[in-house]
Amino acid sequence: MNVDLLLGKTQEHLVCLEGTNHLLHKDMLRDFLRLREDARDAGFELSVASAFRDYQRQESIWNAKASGQRPLLDESGRPLVFEVMSPTEIIFAILRWSAVPGGSRHHWGTDIDVFDERTQIKGDVKLIPSEVTQDGPAAPLHNWLDERIAASEAYGFYRPYETDRGGVAPELWHLSYSPLSVGLLESYNFTLFRKNIFESELILKSVLLDQAEEIYQRFMLNVDLP
Ligand SMILES: [Zn+2]
């Protein structure tokens, strides 16, 4: 296994999604295009808000949140008050919505965040629960996806963050391509996870190292399976 691929430190397995600047795993592109075509037939425009994200990008998200420069959100997506939080509270609040750099499924190119471009404006998409549930603009798309996934007609795409397992918050917009991602998660291990943090310059690194075992179990391994 290419360790750099697991950590978001290579792009050699990726291709660009035509008409966008999003990079996807080359072995996933065909099935994504099929799913998008079926969505079109059903009246939706299945679009990518976020696909491959490299280590550097995840690191800048982490450091912005860990230093209070970017808002931390509670369970419902409302801002928390950074100034009154302990370092441990800060890292667990970040982890609810953002992965530790090196531990993001977006590093693999097999996972994408999606929205419905027929009902949502690209620049306004926030990827929060209210967009995808009840009367949210992407709710019809996700109801359609639910049916396709349940019928095994989603070409291998499924939701790793469908239920609240006490780790990452439910993220209906996050789809994963199981023919590739299941094997990638299996090839990941705790030694790699910890070593990557140890060698990093992440803000709150020492707190991360203290809690590494729990974080690995709760936020990486603890996902819904296809
Ligand atoms: Zn995502």
Mean pLDDT in order along the chain per 10 residues (226 residues): 93 97 98 98 98 97 96 87 96 94 97 98 92 96 98 98 92 97 97 97 97 96 95
Place of tokens 């509270």: 89
Token pair of 70, please? 């970017």
Q: Is 46 exposed, middle or buried (0-12, 13-18, 19+ CB in 10 A)?
A: buried
**How many angstroms does the Cα of residue 173 sit away from the middle of ligand 1?**
7
**How many angstroms does the Cα of residue 182 sit away from the middle of ligand 1?**
16
**How many angstroms does the Cα of residue 119 sit away from the middle of ligand 1?**
20
**How many angstroms does the Cα of residue 168 sit away from the middle of ligand 1?**
10
**How many angstroms does the Cα of residue 112 sit away from the middle of ligand 1?**
6
**How many angstroms does the Cα of residue 52 sit away from the middle of ligand 1?**
9
Domain 3-221 has CATH 3.50.50.60: no
- In Å, how far from its chain's centre is CA 104? 7
**How many angstroms does the Cα of residue 97 sit away from the middle of ligand 1?**
9
**How many angstroms does the Cα of residue 107 sit away from the middle of ligand 1?**
10
pLDDT the model gives residue 72:
94
Dihedral angle, C-alpha 70, 72, 78, 79, nearest 10 ° = -60
β-pair partners for 116: 46
pTM of the predicted model as reported, rounded to 2 decimal places: 0.94
**How many angstroms does the Cα of residue 165 sit away from the middle of ligand 1?**
16
- Which DSSP string corresponds to the chain? --HHHHHT---TTEEEPTTSS-EEETTTHHHHHHHHHHHHHTT--EEEEE----HHHHHHHHHHHHTTSS--B-TTSPBP-GGG--HHHHHHHHHHHSPPTT--GGGGTSEEEEEETTTS-GGG----HHHHSTT-TTHHHHHHHHHHHHTT-STTEE-TTSS--SSSPP-TTEEEEHHHHHHHHHH--HHHHHHHHHTS--TTHHHHHHTHHHHIIIIII-----
- Angle made by CA atoms 40, 46, 52, in degrees to the nearest 5: 145
**How many angstroms does the Cα of residue 125 sit away from the middle of ligand 1?**
13
Distance CA 209, CA 72 (A): 21
Under a CB-based contact definition with an 8 Å cutoff, are residues 137 and 131 in contact? yes
Single-letter amino acid, residue 206: S
**How many angstroms does the Cα of residue 211 sit away from the middle of ligand 1?**
23
Domain positions in the chain: 3-221
